[in-house]
Amino acid sequence: MSHAVRNPEARYRRLPLALALALAAPLALAAPLALAAPLARAADAAAADDGAAADAADAAGPGVTLDAVQVTGSNLKRSDEAGVNPVLVLDRVQIEKSGKVTVSDLLRSLTVNSGNSFNEQYTGSFANGSAGVSLRGLSQKNTLVLVNGYRVASYGFAQGTQDNFVDLNALPLGAIERVEILKDGASALYGSDAIAGVVNLILRRKIEGVELDASYGAATEGGIDQHSIGLRAGRGDPAKDGYSLRFSLDVFQRGQLNADERDLTKSGDYRSEPGGRLAGWSTQGGAFLSNPRAPVAFACQPGTQSRPYSDFGSPLPGNACAFNTQPFRTLIPDVERYQALVAGDVRLSDSVQGFAEILYSTSHNGAYFSAPMTVGAGLRAYDRGTGRLVDIPAVLPVGHPNNPNATPTPFEYSFLDLGARYKINKSQFSRALVGLRGNGEVWDWEVAASHSESRQREYVRNFLDRYAFEQVLADGSYDFLNPSRTPGALDALRLSTRRPGTYRLSTLSGKISGFPFQWRAGDVGVAAGVEFRDEAQDARTSPQVLSGTELRPAINLIDGDRRVAAAFFEFSLKPWEQVEVQLAGRGDHYSDFGSAFSPKLGVRWQLSDDFLLRLNASRGFRAPSLPEIAQSTTISYGSVIDPFDPVQPGASRGVTILRAGNSNLKAERSSNVNLGLLWAPDADTSLGIDLYRIRQDDLIAPDNVQFVVSNPDANPGRITRDAQGRLQLVENRYSNQGTLTTTGFDVEGRKVWRAGDDSWTLDGTWTRLLSYEQPLVAGQAKQDGAGNNLFGALPKWRGITSLAWNRGDWNAQLSWRYIGGYGQKVVDARSNPGLRGKVDDYHQFDLYVGFEGLRDTTLYASVQNLADKAPPFDPAGGALPYDITQYDALGRFVTVGVKYKF
């Protein structure tokens, strides 16, 4: 690769990505992977649609011209230099050697995915079974995910009832040629949702013959295993044969891991840890009289045990009937996915080519998401007539066989015999795309139309039938103290539900680009285009909820649609030989909230043969999501500190939250600044730093529930309490409020050594979060969430360092993944003083070994979490003693696999 030294443009073509190689260090199914190859390979890989560009570019000497391609962050095709934008590229070779088998695992291992992203282990989510990515910790809704440069439909359900996002689990990793990650805001080019950056998944453009990839993996504790099979086939070359056809099929199956299968979680008792509690246990299952200050417990039902209230931090006297909920909690759901791609290109003339693709996936996952249903104070059902909840008394009437008193007796009871609530999510995703592209002496053009859908069906077992419950209270047909005496009543009480959700997206777009003339030191690049989109989301609830049959319903009703029209432009200028300037802008008009214009200025300055400086400044926006601005109703459950509770003032209290959409919302606006310095003294050495600052104004969020409860006089009519004065319901809605500002930097480096037949490569990528500031309550002073969990767990440091070795047919890689510790921030120290501590740092090592000495065959093995390191204890996780946005409980995981080309 000595040509890179003689050709500085080629060297800096490599740098942006060379510096990033550590970004996910290699890993192979088990490791955070080496996500950044030398910049040279990154840019060259982007320049080759046939997947072999990296090798071809390295083999090419000075003066060899590579095919021009479009790279994420620009509409202009180029081959001779790195662009203005900070783009990380993961080519197919890196993806294969990573050992990752899902897009979610690949992207979530990146250091730029710093927090506030969720995958399928979030079993209590309204968007169950999905996975997203959150660049810069700004949540999944602020990271735009594209496939081949075009949008795809968001998940049918909203994350956190509010956020629309693309489900990574619907996208097949085996069909991807490369991943391009723009680590800067890109609304000026791509429109809404790109405030934190863009992830562009480029599908394979050329497959020759048939390829088969199969692997098997298993954890060393817990019994969870997984299987994956990938089949690829292709024929034809548009340049030679006038056409090409490609087919890809991925099958992925993984077992289920439950909390009682891991030593880390099975006891549910974390009192030996600082700030730990008996968090995995429930105190519901006994009964008490109408005065909760002096409860009178019945004998504990089978499956529970009597424990002092003091075990649970309560000042109440006596004992509670408690049980361990961990056997009813899934850590990692079982999954079965099928993902297919059919694509083709046809040469219609020497300058015009047609293209089409159909992407389809279907998946099924299941998980225990909650312990058996409990009834007691605060039990409610939905009233369709008012759109509100009505109270359903949990009171044993006089004369009931289980009521020894002469007055009606309120009680709490867990239906352990009913079984845990189990959730199954069936998901289908599709995207059909057709288009034409052409090239001339000056101008290239492309027009395309697509339709994409994401359809979900969520099934839940073992809910409780309200009317059957009221019946057994009235006639005594269910024995709460000995359910085995009345088995038929249990079947009548059991309720299963089905919840549908759909997101549809149709697009029509066209663009033109070229270098029509010269100005000063170089060609002037010009690009322009238009885009039209129709979006619609329809998330419903079950008939059992709407009829008032389901007790304690959770609802996220969304019914909205919008039309979007946009026009954009881009200019690339070279006022001086060493300086390139990018000017871009985009105007978007939304049918539901109005218009937004997003400008951008980028500068690339070749300081010397070894140094490159780049600066990007832009404005961006995020349109209100359909759950936020359309007709939506959400009923969810949470907990707050209630300073006015009549029994335990200042203790944590469960609360029902009612929230609605707001048609008067404005778009969120952002200002982004990114400054990068890259150094590459030779082809085997590179080092770079990228500093970023993102400011978001008019953040869309509901009011802080804790603030509403703590300040009832300032929020009249929004708080409902029962006759005893205990908190029941808080009403809320979305509004524009507050500003968020975050700053940080990425450091990326790479060094290669060679000794005889051996080559060694050291890669490192580290991301430092400097600040993450926003007010907890609109109008109040900002607070900093960097290095704590005030706005979700946001460690200040995340890093991946890898050491790779190659010799002949053998290659291996050892990766070190680091996640910095973070502080605990709580709203009220009275709830749990231990939460003011610190979550420990985390170190994980992963190993990958591959052998290519057999004809057309590659054998590989990987070990994720080589030392079987447990996640650091975080008491804020509740029943799970770790933060699920940063860690999982998989433990050591060993994978073996084989790839074969026919």
The pLDDT tens digits of the residues spanning 469-511 come to: 999 999 999 988 788 888 888 889 999 999 999 999 999 999 9
* Same domain membership, residue 543 and residue 406: no
What pLDDT was estimated at residue 96? 77
Please tell me the least confidently modeled range out of 381-390, 447-456, 682-691.
381-390
SS3 371: coil
For residue 229, give the nearest of 212, 247, 246 by alpha carbon: 212
| CA distance to 104, 123, 843, per residue, from 131 (Å) | 6, 11, 23
* Same domain membership, residue 295 and residue 315: yes
Note whether residue 723 is domain-resident: no
* Same domain membership, residue 757 and residue 804: yes
Contact 88, 17 (CB under 8 A): yes
Compute the average pLDDT of residues 213-219.
Answer: 95
* Same domain membership, residue 501 and residue 437: yes
What pLDDT was estimated at residue 534? 98
Note whether residue 730 is domain-resident: no
The tokens describing 330, both together, are 């899934």
Compute the average pLDDT of residues 155-166.
Answer: 94
Banded pLDDT at 614 (limits 50, 70, 90): very high
Burial 154-177 (b: 16+ CB within 10 A, else e): bbbbbbbbbbbbbbbbbbbbbbbb
Task: Please write the tens of the pLDDT for every residue from 833-884.
Answer: 445 578 999 999 999 999 999 999 999 999 999 999 999 999 888 889 999 9
Identify the residue with better confidence: 10 or 267.
267
Note whether residue 640 is domain-resident: no
Banded pLDDT at 284 (limits 50, 70, 90): low
* Same domain membership, residue 446 and residue 432: yes
**Sign of dihedral through CA atoms 70, 71, 73, 79?**
negative
Contact 269, 278 (CB under 8 A): yes
Contact 569, 600 (CB under 8 A): no
* pLDDT above 70 as % of the chain: 88
Banded pLDDT at 318 (limits 50, 70, 90): confident
What pLDDT was estimated at residue 638? 79
* Same domain membership, residue 141 and residue 28: yes
Note whether residue 783 is domain-resident: yes
Note whether residue 724 is domain-resident: no
What pLDDT was estimated at residue 296? 56
Please tell me the least confidently modeled range out of 40-44, 313-317, 550-554.
40-44
What pLDDT was estimated at residue 226? 95
Please tell me the least confidently modeled range out of 387-396, 596-605, 800-809, 841-850.
387-396
What pLDDT was estimated at residue 152? 97
**Going by C-beta distance under 8 Å and a sequence separation of 6 or more, which residues neighbour residue 150?**
433, 448, 450, 507, 509
| CA distance to 390, 592, 621, 741, 748, per residue, from 698 (Å) | 35, 17, 10, 12, 33
What pLDDT was estimated at residue 836? 56
* Same domain membership, residue 180 and residue 145: yes
What pLDDT was estimated at residue 297? 53
| CA distance to 477, 479, 673, 748, per residue, from 14 (Å) | 75, 72, 22, 13
Banded pLDDT at 29 (limits 50, 70, 90): very low
Place of tokens 């000497």: 61
Q: 63 pLDDT exceeds 70?
A: no
Helices (H), 192-348: 238-241
Banded pLDDT at 38 (limits 50, 70, 90): very low
Please tell me the least confidently modeled range out of 221-225, 243-247, 412-416, 636-640.
636-640
Identify the residue with better confidence: 56 or 386.
386
Note whether residue 636 is domain-resident: no
* Same domain membership, residue 378 and residue 339: no
* Same domain membership, residue 109 and residue 172: yes
For residue 615, give the nearest of 625, 604, 626 by alpha carbon: 604
The amino acid occupying position 341 is: L
What pLDDT was estimated at residue 274? 84
Banded pLDDT at 94 (limits 50, 70, 90): confident
Q: 15 pLDDT exceeds 80?
A: no
Contact 418, 494 (CB under 8 A): yes
Q: 786 pLDDT exceeds 50?
A: yes
Note whether residue 659 is domain-resident: no
Question: Can you tell me the distance from the alpha carbon of 174 to that of 231, in angstroms, rounded to the nearest whole number?
Answer: 8
The amino acid occupying position 228 is: S
Note whether residue 301 is domain-resident: yes
* Same domain membership, residue 777 and residue 881: yes
Compute the average pLDDT of residues 772-790.
Answer: 91
Q: How many domains does the chain have?
A: 2
For residue 796, give the nearest of 115, 143, 133, 182 by alpha carbon: 115
What pLDDT was estimated at residue 286? 55
Contact 445, 435 (CB under 8 A): no
Q: 653 pLDDT exceeds 80?
A: no
Please tell me the least confidently modeled range out of 55-59, 153-157, 338-342, 600-604.
55-59
Banded pLDDT at 717 (limits 50, 70, 90): confident
Contact 274, 258 (CB under 8 A): no
* Same domain membership, residue 572 and residue 428: yes
Compute the average pLDDT of residues 614-625.
Answer: 96
Q: 829 pLDDT exceeds 80?
A: no
* Same domain membership, residue 408 and residue 508: no
Task: Please write the tens of the pLDDT for every residue from 227-238.
Answer: 999 999 999 998
What is the CATH number for 535?
A: 2.40.170.20
Q: 188 pLDDT exceeds 70?
A: yes
What pLDDT was estimated at residue 68? 54
For residue 804, give the nearest of 851, 767, 751 by alpha carbon: 751
**Going by C-beta distance under 8 Å and a sequence separation of 6 or more, which residues neighbour residue 350?**
none
Residue 566 Cα to chain centre, angstroms = 27
Domain range for 385 is: 260-331+373-423+466-491
| The domain boundary residue, chosen from 442, 475, 491 | 491
Contact 90, 178 (CB under 8 A): yes
| CA distance to 112, 113, 139, 159, 487, per residue, from 799 (Å) | 9, 11, 20, 27, 56
Checking DSSP bridges between strand 631-642 and strand 822-823, what pairing results, if any? unpaired
Mean pLDDT, the chain, as a whole number?
86
